[in-house]
């Protein structure tokens, strides 16, 4: 999170500190510090002792232990904590850590380190790998002089992603060896091994985690930390690093040869091992990887299932002989893996090519679902079907029927986006354009604008897609087009789209919700910031002058908490033609809190029941989660209220019944 | 029983992860294995949060249907939502304080009557502990210690005696919190501990 050294243009001095809840807030801060401290502690863990760590924390620790020199990322759930830890512990070993502008740049920086005889890692969420893809596809052709490991954090069941693509497919597609850890300790060991493999065969290596592994906390035994070195040496190799057709063809031959050698020479027995659970059985053979292995183990132990389990930790390229003999030695074989049938398909091919006539159960015959994450119940059902055995079930009693309230993810109390949505929705309504405008939205907290009551957002593909699709909508249909983007996403992927819109004379109003941080993933650095958590300085990039500089004549900027003028400005901008832009700039409430609370300032608003006219505007149109109604009475939950004061403006509460508590 | 399975449920911001981490660290101090699932990402504050944990010989924290040994229900309606995940004989600790989401104010869904809901729990479960954790936390000196009240309540359960000793949990709390927050958290721990200790259920 931003340290607050970014200038805040808004003064809070008019408010007096609240005494009633200060203690509560003081301790909330102290709790936040606990978390930050524990990230720092990852650099100081004692070797040989046992710790309860998140896989992402263990990965960051492994980077220190294996003397990684360079680590780059663009934040994305479920990979973000790796960067959060490295950002505060990098100096322990002298590692160079960077939040890059997007995953492609992050990947390219890591690749350049690997070409300079350094050890590099780059990590991102699964869809982030798509952004890096263009360069990633050529990386194995060119190869490495040092080491490069790409960590892809996949998100089966889409807890915080737009799709559940299985990036193990990319390993085969791009010709990268692939590791799949199941636990924090294994992720740690595998990262170290992957770096060695990369160095030994001069090839980038991929490691795939999934949400349930990335966010699994378990026991880890750390080792000594190493020492990073950031002065590499690039060997000029006369076009060897340039995949012009003539060279690219040679590189492809070398690459396939490398993969063959890895399959043959690389000893994978440590990673693809056979476990004989409950003394094993030649009747039942289970092939599994990643998180699914954990479910298989737990279910087998719980119900005393005797089975041989081949745990695949190194899943590409698969060693043929190991698989063939496992297939031959077991009567019933099932493959249990998550998302796509990647290992299952590979094994089916191996069976076919080795004339092994055996039915392989798994996803294709419905033993395991074709989508979403696995879990103990799925594995239990599959094994029950495979073994033709009924497992005990628990006595789960029926209860009376009750309503279940919904708790969708919502913008935080005090969030500036809420005011921006209120402005835009009011502006569109006043201009008679409500429901007569197209709003391509983008990826960030503000995606939640699609929820009631704002319902602001019509289409979303990927990072930066709001402006790209807006280019098209402005041409192919009649409603005004209002694409929305946040500051970090703006720099990540929106610039070519804007240039395209200007160059082709499109007609749209680009809305930039600048909250001065990469908020959704936990408040990491954004290119608009000058200083980070650790006090490091950066050159801030100004969105207003960027837009002006590339040729947008009408660029507006306003604090979204100035709701009344915001609506006026928005109406003006929407009535114009051509490419225009409006920037709503106000920092994320979580940053404001941090800065304000550190200065001892706490604010709280409450409804003066004598003044409230029960119009319900604050509840139904502004809808801060802290405001609620009980019958006709409107109240503010003091534990949720952030004290931002946005709801107290007469444009939200006409009789000014919402008052600051002092 | 070789492993103890604990299901935590509540609303983002209640300190669910803190409760789990403290218990897990205590398990490690006792030379036991522990695994725990966490949720991070997309606007968690005010959203549903479930954490699952196993102590003992287990690789995945995810608990199969009905199998939870202990339920830490930090919010009544969230505990109800997960009723398929525990069974008649699970030890169920429920905070009696509802957190009504703002969505009910804008006509999205509704919140059940808490007393009826809790009475319904009383009818079917054998080992139920209803606690006013927020009140106990305030007694300890601060509402945010509610998550440690729950750690105390879990530690007081009979089945925990042979798994993690009270002393290990106290040590984990000492390791986890800076000294200025230690006293109130230890107080919160004991307030929770006394509620469940040596009792088969405690309906208040
Ligand atoms: S002041 Fe109003 S809008 Fe701001 S957090 Fe409190 S209740 Fe919500
Ligand atoms: S906007 Fe003001 S007057 Fe209207 S219901 Fe809310 S608090 Fe009452």
Tens digit of pLDDT for each residue in A270-315?
999 999 999 999 999 999 999 999 999 999 999 999 999 999 999 9
Query: CA-CA distance, B155 to B165, in Å (whole number)?
Result: 8
Pick the ligand that lies closest to the CA of residue B105: 2
Atom of ligand 1 nearest to the CA of A624: 8
Q: For residue A1, what are its two tokens?
A: 């999170």
For B156-170, what is each residue's pLDDT tens digit?
A: 999 998 899 999 999
pLDDT of residue A3: 33
Rounded to an integer, the average pLDDT of A313-320 is 94
Atom of ligand 1 nearest to the CA of A645: 1
Contacting residues of B for A301, CB less than 8 Å apart: 2, 57-58
pLDDT of residue A596: 83
The contacts of residue A104 (CB under 8 Å, 6+ apart) are: A131, A132, A133, A134, A135
The 3-state DSSP class for residue A4 equals coil
Question: Per-residue pLDDT for A325 more than 70?
Answer: yes
Choose among B45, B83, B104: nearest Cβ to A399.
Answer: B83
Query: CA-CA distance, B134 to B146, in Å (whole number)?
Result: 6
- Identify the residue with better confidence: A238 or A357: A357
User: Hey, which residues does A99 pair with through a beta bridge?
Assistant: A73
CA-based nearest residue to B125, from B200, B49, B52, B53: B200
Contact B43 A215 (CB under 8 A): no
- Identify the residue with better confidence: A19 or A333: A333
Residue whose tokens read 């209803």: B130
Compare all CA atoms of chain B with the CA of A22 and give the residue at the minimum distance.
B142
Question: Per-residue pLDDT for A33 more than 80?
Answer: no
Rounded to an integer, the average pLDDT of A7-28 is 30
For A157-181, what is each residue's pLDDT tens digit?
A: 998 899 999 999 999 999 999 999 9
pTM for the model stands at: 0.93
Question: Per-residue pLDDT for A65 more than 60?
Answer: yes
**Atom 3 in ligand 2: residue holding the nearest Cα:** A612
Q: Which of A454, A602, A603, A643 to mutate to test the pocket of ligand 1 (most atoms within 8 A of CB)?
A: A643
Compare all CA atoms of chain B with the CA of A632 and give the residue at the minimum distance.
B105
**Atom 3 in ligand 1: residue holding the nearest Cα:** A647
- Identify the residue with better confidence: A27 or A114: A114
Q: Lowest-confidence range among B31-45, B147-161, B178-192?
A: B31-45
CA distance A215 to chain B (A): 5
Atom of ligand 2 nearest to the CA of A611: 3
Rounded to an integer, the average pLDDT of A15-24 is 31
* Contact criterion met (CB below 8 Å) for A310 and A273: yes
CA distance B119 to chain A (A): 10
pLDDT of residue A24: 37
| Banded pLDDT at A252 (limits 50, 70, 90) | very high
Query: CA-CA distance, A217 to A590, in Å (whole number)?
Result: 26
Q: Which of A453, A612, A631 to mutate to test the pocket of ligand 2 (most atoms within 8 A of CB)?
A: A612
For B24-61, what is each residue's pLDDT tens digit?
A: 999 999 999 999 998 765 545 678 889 999 999 999 99
Contacting residues of A for B109, CB less than 8 Å apart: 403-406
pLDDT of residue A23: 35
Residue whose tokens read 């931002």: A644
Question: Per-residue pLDDT for A25 more than 80?
Answer: no
Contact A218 B33 (CB under 8 A): yes
- Set out the domains of chain B in order of their start, with CATH numbers: 4-132+159-177 (3.40.920.10)
For A608-643, what is each residue's pLDDT tens digit?
A: 999 999 999 999 999 998 999 888 899 998 878 999
**Atom 6 in ligand 1: residue holding the nearest Cα:** A641
B204 shares contact with chain A (CB less than 8 Å): no
- Identify the residue with better confidence: B48 or A257: A257
| Banded pLDDT at B201 (limits 50, 70, 90) | low
For A527-562, what is each residue's pLDDT tens digit?
A: 999 998 778 899 999 999 999 999 999 999 999 999
Contacting residues of A for B58, CB less than 8 Å apart: 297-298, 301
Query: CA-CA distance, A498 to A515, in Å (whole number)?
Result: 20
């Amino acid at each position: 999170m931003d340290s607050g050294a970014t200038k805040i243009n808004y003064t809070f001095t008019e408010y007096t500190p609240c005494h009633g809840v200060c203690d509560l807030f003081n301790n909330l801060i102290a709790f936040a510090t606990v978390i930050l401290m524990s990230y720092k502690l990852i650099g100081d863990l004692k070797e040989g002792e046992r710790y309860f760590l998140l896989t992402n924390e263990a990965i960051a620790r492994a980077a220190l232990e294996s003397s990684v020199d360079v680590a780059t990322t663009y934040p994305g759930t479920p990979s973000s904590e790796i960067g959060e830890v490295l950002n505060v512990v990098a100096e322990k070993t002298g590692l160079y850590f960077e939040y890059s502008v997007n995953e492609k740049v992050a990947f390219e920086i890591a690749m350049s380190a690997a070409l300079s005889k350094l050890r590099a890692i780059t990590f991102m969420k699964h869809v982030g790998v798509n952004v890096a893809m263009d360069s990633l596809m050529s990386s194995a052709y060119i190869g490495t002089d040092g080491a490069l490991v790409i960590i892809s954090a996949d998100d089966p069941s889409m807890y915080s992603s737009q799709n559940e693509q299985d990036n193990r497919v990319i390993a085969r597609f791009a010709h990268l060896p692939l590791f799949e850890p199941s636990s924090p300790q294994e992720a740690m060991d595998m990262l170290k091994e992957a770096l060695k493999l990369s160095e030994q065969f001069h090839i980038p290596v991929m490691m795939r985690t999934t949400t349930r592994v990335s966010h699994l906390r378990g026991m880890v035994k750390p080792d000594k930390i190493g020492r990073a070195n950031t002065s590499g040496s690039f060997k000029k190799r006369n076009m060897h690093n340039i995949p012009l057709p003539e060279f690219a063809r040679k590189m492809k031959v070398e690459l396939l040869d490398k993969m063959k050698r890895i399959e043959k020479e690389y000893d994978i027995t440590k990673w693809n091992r056979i476990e004989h659970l409950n003394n094993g059985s030649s009747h039942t053979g289970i092939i599994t990887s990643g998180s699914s292995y954990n479910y298989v183990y737990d279910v087998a132990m719980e119900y005393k299932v005797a089975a041989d389990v081949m745990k695949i930790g190194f899943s590409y390229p698969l060693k043929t002989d190991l698989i063939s003999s496992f297939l031959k030695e077991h009567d019933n074989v099932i493959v249990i893996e998550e998302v796509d049938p990647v290992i299952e398909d590979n094994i089916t091919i191996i069976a076919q090519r080795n004339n092994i006539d055996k039915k392989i159960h798994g996803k294709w015959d419905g033993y395991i679902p074709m989508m979403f994450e696995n879990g103990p119940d799925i594995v239990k059902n599959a094994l029950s079907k495979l073994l033709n055995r009924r497992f005990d079930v628990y006595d789960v009693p029926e209860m009376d029927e009750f309503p279940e309230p919904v708790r969708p993810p919502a913008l935080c109390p005090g969030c500036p986006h809420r005011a921006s949505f209120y402005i835009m929705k009011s502006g569109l309504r006043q201009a008679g354009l409500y429901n007569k405008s197209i709003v391509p939205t983008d990826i960030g907290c503000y995606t939640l604008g699609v929820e009631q009551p704002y319902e602001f957002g019509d289409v979303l593909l990927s990072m930066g897609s709001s402006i790209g699709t807006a280019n098209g909508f402005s041409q192919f249909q009649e409603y005004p087009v209002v694409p929305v983007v946040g500051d970090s996403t703006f720099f990540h992927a929106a610039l070519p789209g804007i240039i395209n819109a200007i160059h082709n004379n499109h007609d749209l109003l680009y809305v930039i919700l600048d909250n001065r941080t990469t908020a959704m993933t936990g408040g990491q650095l954004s290119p608009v910031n000058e200083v980070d958590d650790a006090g490091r300085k950066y050159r801030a990039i100004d969105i207003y002058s960027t837009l002006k500089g590339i040729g947008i004549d009408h660029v507006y900027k306003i604090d979204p908490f100035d709701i009344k003028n915001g609506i006026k400005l928005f109406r003006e901008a929407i009535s114009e033609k051509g490419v225009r832009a409006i920037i709503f700039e106000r920092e994320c409430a979580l940053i404001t809190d941090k800065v304000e609370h550190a200065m001892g300032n706490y604010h709280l608003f409450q409804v003066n029941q004598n003044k409230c006219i029960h119009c319900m505007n604050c509840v139904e149109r502004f809808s801060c989660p802290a405001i609620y109604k009980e019958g006709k009475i409107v109240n503010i939950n003091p534990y949720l209220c952030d004290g931002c004061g946005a709801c107290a403006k007469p444009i939200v509460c006409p009789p000014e019944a919402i008052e600051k508590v002092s | 029983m070789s492993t103890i399975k604990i299901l935590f449920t509540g609303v983002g911001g209640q300190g669910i992860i803190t409760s789990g981490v403290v218990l897990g660290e205590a398990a490690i101090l006792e030379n036991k294995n522990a695994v725990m699932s966490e949720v991070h990402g997309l606007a968690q504050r005010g959203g549903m949060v479930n954490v699952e944990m196993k102590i003992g010989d287990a690789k995945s924290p995810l608990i199969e249907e009905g199998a939870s040994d202990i339920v830490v229900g930090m919010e009544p309606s969230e505990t109800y939502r997960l009723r398929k995940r525990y069974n008649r004989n699970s030890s169920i600790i429920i905070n009696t304080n509802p957190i009504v989401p703002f969505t009910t104010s804008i006509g999205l869904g509704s919140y059940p009557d808490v007393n009826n809901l809790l009475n319904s729990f009383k009818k079917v479960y054998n080992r139920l502990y209803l606690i006013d954790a927020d009140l106990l936390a305030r007694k300890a000196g601060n509402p945010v210690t509610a998550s440690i009240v729950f750690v105390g309540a879990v530690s007081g359960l009979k089945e925990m005696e042979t798994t993690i000793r009270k002393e290990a949990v106290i040590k984990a709390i000492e390791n986890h919190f800076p000294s200025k927050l230690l006293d109130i958290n230890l107080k919160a721990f004991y307030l929770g501990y006394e509620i469940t200790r040596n009792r088969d259920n405690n309906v208040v």
